[in-house]
Amino acid sequence: MKCEVLVSTMNQEKKDKLIRDMDINDCIIINQITKNIKFQKDDLNSNQRFLSFREKGLSRSRNKAIQNSRADICIIADDDMYYEKEYEKIILNAYKKISDADIIAFEVANEAKPNRVKKIKSGKISYLQSMRLSSVQITFKRKSIINNKITLDEEFGTGSTYYWGEENIFLFDCLRKGLKLYYFPKKIATLRISESSWNKDNTPEHYQIQGAIYYRMSKKMYPILILQFVIRKRSIYKKDMSMFQVLKNMFTGARKYKSRKAKGSV
Protein backbone atom coordinates (compact mmCIF):
# COMPACT_ATOMS: atom_id res chain seq x y z
CA MET A 1 0.00 0.00 0.00
CA LYS A 2 1.08 3.54 -0.76
CA CYS A 3 0.52 6.59 1.48
CA GLU A 4 0.09 10.15 0.25
CA VAL A 5 -0.20 13.33 2.34
CA LEU A 6 -2.97 15.64 1.10
CA VAL A 7 -1.86 19.19 1.95
CA SER A 8 -4.15 22.22 1.76
CA THR A 9 -2.39 25.59 1.52
CA MET A 10 -2.87 29.07 0.10
CA ASN A 11 -0.73 31.49 -1.91
CA GLN A 12 2.41 29.36 -1.88
CA GLU A 13 4.93 30.21 -4.59
CA LYS A 14 7.09 27.05 -4.27
CA LYS A 15 6.58 23.61 -2.85
CA ASP A 16 10.13 22.73 -1.74
CA LYS A 17 10.28 24.72 1.54
CA LEU A 18 6.81 23.61 2.55
CA ILE A 19 7.71 19.95 2.00
CA ARG A 20 10.92 20.37 4.03
CA ASP A 21 9.10 22.16 6.85
CA MET A 22 6.42 19.47 7.00
CA ASP A 23 9.01 16.68 6.64
CA ILE A 24 6.84 14.63 4.29
CA ASN A 25 7.50 12.20 1.46
CA ASP A 26 4.85 11.38 -1.16
CA CYS A 27 2.31 14.18 -1.24
CA ILE A 28 -0.14 16.22 -3.27
CA ILE A 29 -0.29 19.92 -2.38
CA ILE A 30 -3.40 21.85 -3.34
CA ASN A 31 -2.39 25.51 -3.51
CA GLN A 32 -5.31 27.92 -3.64
CA ILE A 33 -4.43 31.30 -5.15
CA THR A 34 -6.23 34.43 -3.95
CA LYS A 35 -3.42 36.93 -4.59
CA ASN A 36 -1.52 38.17 -7.63
CA ILE A 37 1.59 36.01 -7.21
CA LYS A 38 3.83 33.86 -9.37
CA PHE A 39 3.68 30.20 -8.48
CA GLN A 40 5.57 27.07 -9.36
CA LYS A 41 4.23 24.91 -12.17
CA ASP A 42 3.65 21.28 -11.30
CA ASP A 43 5.64 18.28 -12.43
CA LEU A 44 2.84 15.78 -12.96
CA ASN A 45 5.28 12.85 -12.89
CA SER A 46 6.66 13.74 -9.47
CA ASN A 47 5.66 11.93 -6.28
CA GLN A 48 5.43 15.40 -4.67
CA ARG A 49 2.86 17.22 -6.81
CA PHE A 50 1.91 20.88 -6.45
CA LEU A 51 -1.42 21.86 -8.04
CA SER A 52 -2.53 25.52 -8.01
CA PHE A 53 -6.10 26.76 -8.47
CA ARG A 54 -7.54 30.27 -8.41
CA GLU A 55 -10.25 29.55 -5.86
CA LYS A 56 -10.76 29.23 -2.11
CA GLY A 57 -12.42 26.90 0.36
CA LEU A 58 -10.79 24.24 2.53
CA SER A 59 -13.28 21.49 1.67
CA ARG A 60 -12.95 22.26 -2.03
CA SER A 61 -9.17 21.97 -1.65
CA ARG A 62 -9.42 18.60 0.06
CA ASN A 63 -11.87 17.27 -2.50
CA LYS A 64 -9.43 18.24 -5.26
CA ALA A 65 -6.65 16.41 -3.40
CA ILE A 66 -8.72 13.24 -3.03
CA GLN A 67 -9.72 13.33 -6.70
CA ASN A 68 -6.11 13.71 -7.84
CA SER A 69 -4.50 11.37 -5.33
CA ARG A 70 -2.66 8.27 -6.58
CA ALA A 71 -2.41 6.57 -3.20
CA ASP A 72 -4.12 3.71 -1.40
CA ILE A 73 -4.06 5.60 1.92
CA CYS A 74 -4.72 9.35 2.07
CA ILE A 75 -3.51 11.50 4.99
CA ILE A 76 -5.31 14.80 5.55
CA ALA A 77 -2.92 17.65 6.38
CA ASP A 78 -2.72 21.39 6.93
CA ASP A 79 0.38 23.39 6.06
CA ASP A 80 1.16 24.31 9.69
CA MET A 81 2.28 20.89 10.89
CA TYR A 82 5.23 18.51 10.69
CA TYR A 83 5.31 14.73 10.67
CA GLU A 84 7.14 12.05 12.62
CA LYS A 85 10.06 10.46 10.80
CA GLU A 86 8.27 7.11 10.54
CA TYR A 87 4.74 8.41 9.98
CA GLU A 88 4.23 6.23 6.90
CA LYS A 89 5.34 3.09 8.71
CA ILE A 90 3.03 3.86 11.66
CA ILE A 91 0.04 4.40 9.37
CA LEU A 92 0.63 1.37 7.15
CA ASN A 93 1.18 -0.89 10.18
CA ALA A 94 -2.12 0.30 11.64
CA TYR A 95 -3.99 -0.61 8.44
CA LYS A 96 -2.33 -4.03 8.44
CA LYS A 97 -3.38 -4.60 12.04
CA ILE A 98 -6.94 -3.34 11.49
CA SER A 99 -7.63 -4.88 8.11
CA ASP A 100 -11.34 -3.94 8.00
CA ALA A 101 -10.69 -0.24 8.69
CA ASP A 102 -11.78 2.30 6.09
CA ILE A 103 -10.66 5.27 8.19
CA ILE A 104 -8.08 5.42 10.97
CA ALA A 105 -7.49 8.50 13.13
CA PHE A 106 -4.15 8.99 14.88
CA GLU A 107 -2.72 11.21 17.59
CA VAL A 108 -1.56 14.68 16.49
CA ALA A 109 0.18 16.86 19.08
CA ASN A 110 -0.11 20.64 19.37
CA GLU A 111 2.88 22.87 20.19
CA ALA A 112 0.54 25.51 21.62
CA LYS A 113 -0.92 22.95 24.06
CA PRO A 114 1.92 20.44 24.68
CA ASN A 115 0.34 18.90 27.77
CA ARG A 116 -3.15 18.58 26.35
CA VAL A 117 -3.74 15.23 24.67
CA LYS A 118 -7.21 14.12 23.64
CA LYS A 119 -8.02 10.96 25.54
CA ILE A 120 -9.69 8.76 22.98
CA LYS A 121 -10.02 5.05 23.55
CA SER A 122 -8.25 2.82 21.06
CA GLY A 123 -10.57 0.88 18.78
CA LYS A 124 -13.76 1.46 16.82
CA ILE A 125 -15.20 4.97 16.89
CA SER A 126 -18.92 5.80 17.12
CA TYR A 127 -20.80 8.81 15.78
CA LEU A 128 -20.49 10.76 19.04
CA GLN A 129 -16.84 9.80 19.55
CA SER A 130 -16.02 11.00 16.04
CA MET A 131 -16.89 14.55 17.12
CA ARG A 132 -13.70 14.60 19.18
CA LEU A 133 -11.52 14.15 16.11
CA SER A 134 -9.92 16.95 14.10
CA SER A 135 -9.29 16.79 10.36
CA VAL A 136 -5.51 16.43 10.63
CA GLN A 137 -5.91 13.19 12.60
CA ILE A 138 -7.78 11.52 9.75
CA THR A 139 -6.39 8.99 7.27
CA PHE A 140 -8.50 6.82 4.98
CA LYS A 141 -8.51 4.25 2.21
CA ARG A 142 -9.07 6.33 -0.90
CA LYS A 143 -11.03 3.53 -2.58
CA SER A 144 -13.55 3.47 0.31
CA ILE A 145 -14.27 7.19 -0.13
CA ILE A 146 -14.38 7.13 -3.95
CA ASN A 147 -16.47 3.96 -4.23
CA ASN A 148 -19.05 5.34 -1.79
CA LYS A 149 -19.13 8.71 -3.58
CA ILE A 150 -18.30 10.62 -0.40
CA THR A 151 -16.97 14.16 -0.63
CA LEU A 152 -16.42 16.93 1.87
CA ASP A 153 -19.36 19.34 1.90
CA GLU A 154 -17.92 22.46 0.25
CA GLU A 155 -20.36 24.71 2.06
CA PHE A 156 -18.48 23.99 5.30
CA GLY A 157 -14.87 24.71 6.28
CA THR A 158 -12.52 27.69 6.14
CA GLY A 159 -13.31 29.98 3.22
CA SER A 160 -16.90 28.73 2.93
CA THR A 161 -20.35 29.88 4.09
CA TYR A 162 -20.02 27.94 7.35
CA TYR A 163 -16.37 28.21 8.23
CA TRP A 164 -15.74 25.07 10.26
CA GLY A 165 -17.28 21.65 10.99
CA GLU A 166 -16.35 20.00 7.69
CA GLU A 167 -14.49 17.07 9.27
CA ASN A 168 -17.37 16.20 11.62
CA ILE A 169 -19.81 16.22 8.70
CA PHE A 170 -17.41 14.12 6.62
CA LEU A 171 -17.07 11.48 9.35
CA PHE A 172 -20.85 11.33 9.96
CA ASP A 173 -21.36 10.88 6.20
CA CYS A 174 -18.78 8.07 6.20
CA LEU A 175 -20.38 6.29 9.15
CA ARG A 176 -23.83 6.60 7.55
CA LYS A 177 -22.46 4.83 4.47
CA GLY A 178 -21.27 1.97 6.70
CA LEU A 179 -17.56 2.77 6.65
CA LYS A 180 -15.56 1.56 9.64
CA LEU A 181 -13.70 4.20 11.67
CA TYR A 182 -10.99 3.40 14.22
CA TYR A 183 -8.66 5.32 16.52
CA PHE A 184 -5.04 4.16 16.75
CA PRO A 185 -3.16 5.87 19.63
CA LYS A 186 0.16 6.57 17.91
CA LYS A 187 1.48 10.06 17.17
CA ILE A 188 2.03 10.84 13.50
CA ALA A 189 2.44 14.62 13.53
CA THR A 190 2.54 17.90 15.47
CA LEU A 191 0.69 21.16 14.82
CA ARG A 192 2.85 24.26 15.04
CA ILE A 193 -0.04 26.52 16.10
CA SER A 194 -3.32 26.17 17.94
CA GLU A 195 -5.94 24.44 15.80
CA SER A 196 -8.78 26.85 16.51
CA SER A 197 -9.89 29.92 18.41
CA TRP A 198 -13.58 29.06 18.07
CA ASN A 199 -14.11 28.89 21.84
CA LYS A 200 -13.38 32.64 22.12
CA ASP A 201 -16.03 33.59 19.59
CA ASN A 202 -19.16 33.81 21.71
CA THR A 203 -21.51 35.55 19.28
CA PRO A 204 -25.01 34.72 17.98
CA GLU A 205 -23.55 34.12 14.50
CA HIS A 206 -21.07 31.59 15.86
CA TYR A 207 -23.73 29.51 17.56
CA GLN A 208 -26.05 29.73 14.57
CA ILE A 209 -23.26 28.24 12.47
CA GLN A 210 -22.77 25.49 15.05
CA GLY A 211 -26.49 24.73 14.90
CA ALA A 212 -26.34 24.50 11.10
CA ILE A 213 -23.37 22.13 11.36
CA TYR A 214 -25.25 19.83 13.73
CA TYR A 215 -28.29 19.80 11.44
CA ARG A 216 -26.09 18.93 8.46
CA MET A 217 -24.42 16.17 10.49
CA SER A 218 -27.74 14.53 11.36
CA LYS A 219 -31.30 15.64 10.66
CA LYS A 220 -32.51 13.17 13.30
CA MET A 221 -29.91 13.68 16.01
CA TYR A 222 -29.29 17.44 15.76
CA PRO A 223 -31.51 18.43 18.74
CA ILE A 224 -29.56 16.01 20.95
CA LEU A 225 -26.26 17.29 19.56
CA ILE A 226 -27.29 20.87 20.31
CA LEU A 227 -28.42 20.04 23.85
CA GLN A 228 -25.25 18.14 24.71
CA PHE A 229 -23.17 21.05 23.42
CA VAL A 230 -25.07 23.66 25.43
CA ILE A 231 -24.65 21.62 28.62
CA ARG A 232 -21.06 20.48 28.06
CA LYS A 233 -19.64 23.80 26.87
CA ARG A 234 -21.29 26.13 29.40
CA SER A 235 -17.95 27.18 30.91
CA ILE A 236 -16.91 28.59 27.54
CA TYR A 237 -19.87 30.86 26.87
CA LYS A 238 -21.35 31.63 30.33
CA LYS A 239 -19.55 34.99 30.73
CA ASP A 240 -20.96 36.31 27.45
CA MET A 241 -24.25 34.53 26.84
CA SER A 242 -26.89 32.62 28.76
CA MET A 243 -27.69 28.98 28.14
CA PHE A 244 -31.04 30.00 26.67
CA GLN A 245 -29.40 32.46 24.23
CA VAL A 246 -26.95 29.84 22.99
CA LEU A 247 -29.71 27.23 22.67
CA LYS A 248 -31.97 29.68 20.81
CA ASN A 249 -29.23 30.70 18.36
CA MET A 250 -28.22 27.13 17.63
CA PHE A 251 -31.79 26.09 16.82
CA THR A 252 -32.17 29.27 14.75
CA GLY A 253 -29.07 28.32 12.76
CA ALA A 254 -30.37 24.79 12.18
CA ARG A 255 -33.74 26.14 11.06
CA LYS A 256 -32.18 28.68 8.67
CA TYR A 257 -29.97 26.01 7.10
CA LYS A 258 -32.92 23.66 6.72
CA SER A 259 -34.98 26.43 5.09
CA ARG A 260 -32.23 27.33 2.62
CA LYS A 261 -31.85 23.69 1.61
CA ALA A 262 -35.60 23.35 1.15
CA LYS A 263 -35.64 26.41 -1.12
CA GLY A 264 -32.75 25.00 -3.15
CA SER A 265 -30.67 28.13 -2.66
CA VAL A 266 -27.72 26.34 -1.06
Bridge-based pairing of strands 138-141 and 73-78 is: antiparallel
Q: In this predicted structure, what is the pLDDT of residue 64?
A: 96
pLDDT tens per residue, the chain (266 residues)?
999 999 999 998 888 899 999 999 999 999 999 888 776 667 666 899 999 999 999 999 999 999 999 999 999 999 999 999 999 999 999 999 999 999 999 999 998 877 666 778 899 999 999 999 999 999 999 999 999 999 999 999 999 999 999 999 999 999 999 999 999 999 999 999 754 544 457 899 999 999 999 999 999 999 999 999 999 999 999 999 999 999 999 999 999 999 988 876 54
Burial 29-52 (b: 16+ CB within 10 A, else e): bbbbbeeeeeeeebeeeeebbbbb
Per CATH, domain 3-191 is 3.90.550.10 = yes
| 126 phi/psi in degrees, rounded to 5 | -90, 180
Question: Where are the chain's structural domains?
Answer: 3-191, 198-261
Q: Is the dihedral of CA 148, 154, 156, 159 positive or negative?
A: positive
So what's the pLDDT on residue 83?
98
pLDDT at site 197: 42
